[in-house]
Chain A
Amino acid sequence: MKNLIKTICGISVFAFILASCGDGGKKASTVDATKKQGFVKCGVSQGLPGFSNADESGKWTGIDVDVCRAVAAAVLGDANKVKYTPLSAKERFTALQAGEIDVLSRNTTWTLERDAAIGLTFVGVNFYDGQGFMVRKATGIKSVNDFKDGVKVCTNTGTTTELNMADFFKSKGVKYEPVVFEKADEVVQAYDSGRCDTYTTDKSGLAAQRTKLTKPDDHVVLPETISKEPLGPVVRQGDAKWEDVVRWSLNVWIEAEEYGVNSGNIDSMKESKNPAIQRIVGAEGTKNGEALGLDQEWSYRIIKQIGNYGESYKKNIADTGILPDRGPNNLWTKGGILYVPPVR
C-alpha cells in the first residue's frame, strides 16, 4: 500500500511539471529569438520556379525567397542566414502557427478568412497574380468560355484555386470534374499524361510549371484571369515588432526601385542629397532603423545584398522566361499597381 501512496505523489509531481511547462516561453519576441538563433526561419514552396525553388546544390532562389533574405539582411546582417522549410499548401499555415517558421513567403494569397480567422497577419504584397487556365494547343480552345460539360480540371489541394474554380464554373453553368492532388509535381504529371483537359492555378504558377511539361510548346495559357491573387509574406498575429520588421523590409525593397537605388549604385547613392534616398541608405541622422529596433544600416544591407525589387523580378521571373512582362507588378509610376507606403 505504501507503493500506492508513492505512486500518487509521483504522479502529482509529474502533473505539476507538466502544468508549469505549458505557459513558458510564450512571450519571447520573434526578433530577439531570431537574433539569438542566428537565422530566419522561413517557409517556402516545395519548388516553384521564379518564386521559391532550390537548385541542384540546394541553394534557394526566387522572389519569395528574397523576402526572407531581406529580413535576414535587416535583422542579422547577412542575407544568407536563412533556414528554409519547404511546405505544401496544406501544411503552411499550421507550420507558421506552431512556430516552426517565423515568416511564410510561399506564393500565398491574402484573403479575409486567412487574415482574420486563423491567427495570421499578411504584411504586404510582393506579387500581384490571378488564376488562369492552361490547355493543349491542339484542342483549339481560345477562351475560358469554350469549356463545356465534363471538362476535367487538374489542380492542387489547399489553395484558393479550388474555391475560385468552383465559383467560376458555377457562374458559367458548366459541370466540371476537379482532380485534386496534394503536390504540384503530381498535378503536372497528371495533366501532362492527359488525365485532365486543363490545369488551373495562379498564372505565374502556370507559366512556371509549363517549363516542366514534356513539350511546353504544345500548351498555352488562356488569356482570361478569373480571380485576384495578391501574394505576399505572412507572419503570426500578435508580434507587432516582428510584423513591422517584415513589412518594412518588403516595403523598402520595393521603394528602393522607385528611387533608382540598386545593389550596384547604393554605395555612390550614399552621397545623394535626396532625403528619401538618404533614408534608404541609412545616412547619418535617419531614424528608421531605430524605430524598428534595428540598426541604421538595415535597409542598406537589404539593397546591397539582394538588390531592389526590380532586380529580383528581372533575375527570377523575367530572365527565366516565366513572365517577361511585369504587367501589374510594375511600379505605380510605370503603369503597374506596385505602390508601397513611404519608408520614413
Chain B
Amino acid sequence: MSFIQNKIDRIDKYLSDHPRVKFILPQALLLIFLFSIIGYFTFNASSNLAARGIDTGFSFLKNKASFDIQFSMIEFDSSMSYARAYLVGLLNTILVSAIGIVFATLLGFFFGILRLSKNPLASGLATVYIETLRNISLLLQIFFWYFTVLRLLPSADNSIILFDFVYANIKGIYIPRFVWTNLNYFIYGLIFTFVCVYIFNKYANNLREKTGKQLPKFLISLSLLFIIPFLIINIFNVELEFSYPKLDIQMGIANYIGGVSIIPELIALAFALSLYTSTFIAENVRAGILGIDKGQKEAAASIGLTNTQVLRLIVIPQALRIIIPPTTNQYLNLTKNSSLAAAIAYPDIVLVFAGTALMQTGRAIEIVTITMLTYLTLSISISIFMNWYNKKVALTER
C-alpha cells in the first residue's frame, strides 16, 4: 500500500512543480475521455447496424429522391437528389422562421408598448392578447389556424376577391406574379441608391459635428431614394408586369393557375408562430421599458428634449439592451418550433427530410444527425447575429 502511496505522492509533487502540466492534464484527459465515448458509440452503432443488415453511410444523399414536394422556393421534382430535397426543406424552414421573426417582433413591440398605455382599454386589450396566446399550447394554435380558421374560406370557384387581384380560397391565397424586364439594372440601381444615402448621411453627420450646421437629412435621403431609382427605371427601360392568377375549371375541379400561390399551411404556421412568440417578446419589451429609471426621462425632459425625442434618444436605446438578450431566445424558440410544421403538411425540413426521406431510405441515424446539426447551425447563426447586434447597442463604457 505504501508503494502506491509513494507513487501518488511523487506524481503529486511533480504536478505541483509543473503548474502548466497541472493546468492542462485534467483537461486533456477529459477531452480524450469524451472522444473515446463518442468513438465508442459510433463504433457500437455502426457494428450493430451492420450486424442487422441495415445499410449505413451518407451516399444516399446523391440518390434520386423519387417523391415530389408541394411548395419549394427552388426548382424541384422527383428526379432530383435527396440532397436537393434537403435544401428545399431547409429553405422552407428558413422562410417560415424569417416571416415569423419579423411579424413576432412587430406585434411584440406593438403589444408590449400598448400594455404600458395609460388608457385602460388599450392596456387591457394587450393584457388579454398576451395572457391568452402565451398560455395555449403552440401545436393547438397551429391546428386552430389551419383546421378551423382557414377552413372557413370558400372553395376555389367562390374565392374571396380583394382589390381585384388577390384571391383567397381554401386551397391558398393567390396573388399576381411579378414579371420583370431588366430586373438586374434595377437591383444594381437600388444598391447604388443605398450607398449614396449612406455616404450622404455620413457627410451630414460629419458636417454637424464640425460646424453644428444641420442639414435636412431625412428629406434629402427620402428624395434620393425616389429620384435615383426613377432615373434608372427610365434610362434602362426596367419594366414590371403582373401575371394575374386565373380561375381554371377542368373536370369539375376549380384551381387558380398563374400568379403566386401562398399555401394555407404556410399561412397557418406563420400566423401561429408569430402570434405565439409575439406575446413573449411583448413581455420583454415591457420589461425593457419599465427597467429604465424614471430619472432618465426627467433629466432628458429638463434639457428640453420633446416627448418623442425622449423616447427615441433616451428610453429606447437603453431599453434595447434589456430587450435584446431574452428576445434572442424567442427567435431561437420560434425557429425550433417551426418543426411543428409536420403536423399540418408544411414541407419544412422535418417533414421533407426527417420525414419522407428518412422513411424512403431508412437511414434514421444519418438523417436525424443531419437535421439536428442543421437546427444547431441555424440557432447558432441567429445567436451570433443577435450577439453582434447586442454588442452594438450595449453601453460602451470608457
> Which residues of chain A come closer than 8 Å to B358, judged between CB atoms?
90, 158
Report the bound CA distance from A147 to B253 in whole Å.
9
Decide if B78 is an interface residue (CB 8 Å cutoff). Answer: yes
**B345 with A197: CB separation less than 8 A:** no
Q: Say whether, besides A152-B255, A180-B345, A1 and B12 are in contact (CB < 8 Å).
A: yes
> Which residues of chain B come closer than 8 Å to A179, judged between CB atoms?
70, 265, 345
Q: Say whether, besides A151-B253, A157-B351, A182-B343, A5 and B52 are in contact (CB < 8 Å).
A: no
**A 52-73 binary contact with B (CB < 8 Å = 1; else 0):** 0000000000000000000000
> Which residues of chain B come closer than 8 Å to A118, judged between CB atoms?
54-55, 362
The B21-41 residues at the A interface (CB cut-off 8 A) are: 22, 25-26, 29, 33, 36-37, 40
Q: Which of A97, A113, A147 lies at the interface centre, i.e. has the most chain B CB atoms within 10 A of its CB?
A: A97
Q: Which of A136, A139, A180 lies at the interface centre, i.e. has the most chain B CB atoms within 10 A of its CB?
A: A180
Decide if B83 is an interface residue (CB 8 Å cutoff). Answer: no
Decide if B337 is an interface residue (CB 8 Å cutoff). Answer: no
B205 vs chain A, min Cβ distance (A): 52
**B362 with A93: CB separation less than 8 A:** yes
How many A residues face the partner with a CB closer than 8 A?
Answer: 61
A120 vs chain B, min Cβ distance (A): 8
**B147 with A189: CB separation less than 8 A:** yes
Decide if A244 is an interface residue (CB 8 Å cutoff). Answer: no
In the complex, what residue of chain A is closest to B29 when comparing beta carbons?
A8
**B364 with A15: CB separation less than 8 A:** no
> Which residues of chain B come closer than 8 Å to A150, judged between CB atoms?
248, 253, 255-257
> Which residues of chain A come closer than 8 Å to B255, judged between CB atoms?
150-152, 197
Decide if A285 is an interface residue (CB 8 Å cutoff). Answer: no
> Which residues of chain B come closer than 8 Å to A149, judged between CB atoms?
257
**A159 with B11: CB separation less than 8 A:** no
**B253 with A2: CB separation less than 8 A:** no
**B360 with A117: CB separation less than 8 A:** no
**A 125-169 binary contact with B (CB < 8 Å = 1; else 0):** 000000000001011110000111111100001110011011101
**B54 with A119: CB separation less than 8 A:** yes
Q: Say whether, besides A157-B355, A180-B351, A146 and B362 are in contact (CB < 8 Å).
A: no
> Which residues of chain A come closer than 8 Å to B22, judged between CB atoms?
1
Choose one: B37, B252, B355; the contact of A90 (CB below 8 Å).
Answer: B355
Decide if A17 is an interface residue (CB 8 Å cutoff). Answer: no
In the complex, what residue of chain A is closest to B358 when comparing beta carbons?
A90
**A237 with B53: CB separation less than 8 A:** yes
Q: Say whether, besides A117-B55, A157-B351, A89 and B78 are in contact (CB < 8 Å).
A: no
**A237 with B52: CB separation less than 8 A:** yes
> Which residues of chain B come closer than 8 Å to A2, judged between CB atoms?
8, 12
> Which residues of chain B come closer than 8 Å to A93, judged between CB atoms?
359, 362
Q: Which of A2, A7, A89, A163 lies at the interface centre, i.e. has the most chain B CB atoms within 10 A of its CB?
A: A163
Q: Say whether, besides A90-B358, A150-B248, A151-B255, A195 and B54 are in contact (CB < 8 Å).
A: no
**B251 with A140: CB separation less than 8 A:** yes
The A1-43 residues at the B interface (CB cut-off 8 A) are: 1-2, 4-5, 7-8, 11, 15, 18-19, 22, 26
**B51 with A238: CB separation less than 8 A:** yes
Q: Say whether, besides A166-B78, A178-B68, A197 and B253 are in contact (CB < 8 Å).
A: yes
> Which residues of chain B come closer than 8 Å to A165, judged between CB atoms?
68
Q: Say whether, besides A19-B40, A179-B70, A180-B356, A238 and B52 are in contact (CB < 8 Å).
A: yes
Report the bound CA distance from A97 to B151 in whole Å.
39
A294 vs chain B, min Cβ distance (A): 25
B46 vs chain A, min Cβ distance (A): 12
Decide if B344 is an interface residue (CB 8 Å cutoff). Answer: yes
Report the bound CA distance from A135 to B256 in whole Å.
19
**B251 with A146: CB separation less than 8 A:** yes
**A5 with B11: CB separation less than 8 A:** yes
Choose one: A22, A113, A157; the contact of B44 (CB below 8 Å).
Answer: A22
A161 vs chain B, min Cβ distance (A): 10
Report the bound CA distance from A113 to B359 in whole Å.
11
Query: What are 10 A-B residue pairs whose CB atoms fall within 8 Å in the complex?
Result: A22-B44, A26-B51, A90-B358, A139-B253, A147-B251, A148-B253, A180-B345, A181-B344, A193-B170, A197-B253
- Told that A119-B53, A157-B342 touch, could you supply 12 new A-B pairs with CB distance under 8 A? A1-B11, A1-B22, A7-B26, A93-B362, A97-B364, A166-B78, A169-B68, A179-B70, A180-B347, A180-B355, A194-B155, A195-B171
Which residues of A are at the interface with B, using a C-beta cutoff of 8 A? 1-2, 4-5, 7-8, 11, 15, 18-19, 22, 26, 89-90, 93-94, 97, 113-114, 117-119, 136, 138-141, 146-152, 157-159, 162-163, 165-167, 169-170, 176-182, 186, 189-190, 193-195, 197, 236-238
Please name the 7 residue pairs, one residue from A and one from B, whose CB atoms are nearest each other, closest first.
A139-B252, A118-B362, A158-B359, A119-B54, A166-B78, A150-B255, A119-B53
